[in-house]
Chains A and B, each alone.
Chain A
């Protein structure tokens, strides 16, 4: 479903792999190995040579907006452009549903963004990114700021999306989390080796 052909990230050898619908690929590697770069390049947020296709259609055949609505990158450190979290959602109802699903007091939605905790911001940013159910999710350390309970809430949401056929790429330093979620692994460290389990999903 998601196909990467000779994608050039930093000084790494060109990367090629495929992830099927409903599969989760973990992207592993030490800090600076290019995990975020890879996810950002797939979302077309950074220039990178090579092809990225969903269902056989290359990213350049999409408008940039359409591509990023389909291939959704969720940054490790979320950005905010309005004063309150509420304004970052398509409607107050959606915002409240997201807050409740991830264990956040809906009253916090109207608070100034800077007064929210890092964990609250991370869960709200995840909720904001998935509210329209994008078919491909690129998650950059999605639970790094979360306690165990909140982590499980986010993971449950990811698992539900996988069951509904979403493609998920996750960069995480949490080995147990990768164990719980992923079907395959991609190790980014020179020399780059594409993990065998990816092949199993072909």
Chain B
């Protein structure tokens, strides 16, 4: 096994030069994104450096409470991001609540399953459920599940709200005939879920042929055996697809609740113009 790669600050500086490509494109073509590009890059550097430090500390502590605290921060950040990413936007704090509820449930359930059932026996070298608590396994898996669940949830919710607004006549035609809100929203619920699940299905179909996922690339660069990296990636893709499926499901169930009321009326007035 080759030794793990450790980059120096100078190496990172050379990598950052690549940002100049996008900045140049933005300037030459007048895209007007060079400013947000630089800000986003700065944020990325700060966030990843900070998270590296925090994780270093949490991993070393092996404390369950530290891990829970970190997980709570991650879920809260993901819930806020769900609220930020909506387009069109649903008024009020219902969406943040939906994100918080759905992502904590999905994150906890899938992370528990992956860590204790799938990798538990390997990590602890004992069959059955994992017994020792390992932040090194819990936090990265949780992060990945949250990230993908969040993407699917946002995409499904935005699609759902957009379709509810554009197809309000077809929804209300069903409501006026006495159909339930769930029946009336079913066509757009289906479309929203499909829209949110397709990217992962497409990604699974071409993975390895066209793309080597970032996680696998990182593992190989870090010196892992490519077959081991591939197996881990397969597990991760399954977890990701479950995470996005559940995120999409939560979005349409939550969206139905947010855009209807106790008299099963369509409330497009709750969508901000």
Q: Per-position contact with A for B147-187: 1 when CB-CB < 8 Å, else 0?
A: 00000000000000000000111111111111111001001
Inter-chain contact A68/B173, CB cutoff 8 Å: no
Interface positions of B from 235 to 273, Cβ below 8 Å from A: 261, 263-266
| A44-B174 contact, Cβ under 8 Å, with A75-B169, A79-B169 | no
Inter-chain contact B169/A45, CB cutoff 8 Å: no
Q: Write the chain B residue with the least CB distance to A65.
A: B178
Chain B nearest CB from A184 CB (Å) reads 24
Interface positions of A from 70 to 95, Cβ below 8 Å from B: 72-75, 77-82
Inter-chain contact A65/B171, CB cutoff 8 Å: no
Given the complex, which residues of A lie within 8 Å of B177, measured CB to CB? 68-69, 72, 128-129
Inter-chain contact A75/B264, CB cutoff 8 Å: no
Inter-chain contact B173/A81, CB cutoff 8 Å: yes
Chain B nearest CB from A130 CB (Å) reads 11
Given the complex, which residues of A lie within 8 Å of B169, measured CB to CB? 75, 77-79
Best-surrounded residue of B168, B178, B181 (most CB of chain A within 10 A): B178
Inter-chain contact A45/B178, CB cutoff 8 Å: no
Inter-chain contact A74/B176, CB cutoff 8 Å: yes
Inter-chain contact A68/B178, CB cutoff 8 Å: yes
Inter-chain contact B172/A45, CB cutoff 8 Å: yes
Determine if A188 is an interface residue (Cβ-Cβ < 8 Å). Answer: no
Chain B nearest CB from A126 CB (Å) reads 12
* Number of A-B residue pairs having CB atoms within 8 Å of each other in the complex: 64
Inter-chain contact B176/A73, CB cutoff 8 Å: yes
Determine if A112 is an interface residue (Cβ-Cβ < 8 Å). Answer: no
Give the number of chain B interface residues (Cβ < 8 Å). Answer: 22
| Cα-based distance from A90 to B179 in the complex (angstroms) | 12
| Cα-based distance from A81 to B178 in the complex (angstroms) | 14
| A79-B170 contact, Cβ under 8 Å, with A69-B178, A73-B176, A74-B176 | yes
| Cα-based distance from A74 to B169 in the complex (angstroms) | 11
| A65-B170 contact, Cβ under 8 Å, with A47-B261, A47-B263 | no
| A44-B170 contact, Cβ under 8 Å, with A65-B178, A69-B177 | no
Inter-chain contact B261/A79, CB cutoff 8 Å: no
Chain B nearest CB from A61 CB (Å) reads 12
Interface positions of A from 81 to 136, Cβ below 8 Å from B: 81-82, 125, 128-129
Partner of B176, one of A60, A66, A68: A68
What residues of chain A have their CB less than 8 Å away from a CB belonging to chain B? Answer: 43-47, 60, 64-69, 72-75, 77-82, 125, 128-129
15 pairs across A/B with beta carbons < 8 Å? A44-B263, A46-B265, A47-B261, A64-B263, A65-B180, A68-B177, A69-B177, A73-B176, A75-B173, A77-B169, A78-B169, A78-B173, A81-B174, A81-B184, A128-B177
Query: Which 9 pairs show the lowest CB-CB distances between chains A and B?
Result: A79-B169, A79-B173, A69-B178, A79-B170, A64-B264, A81-B170, A65-B178, A73-B176, A68-B178
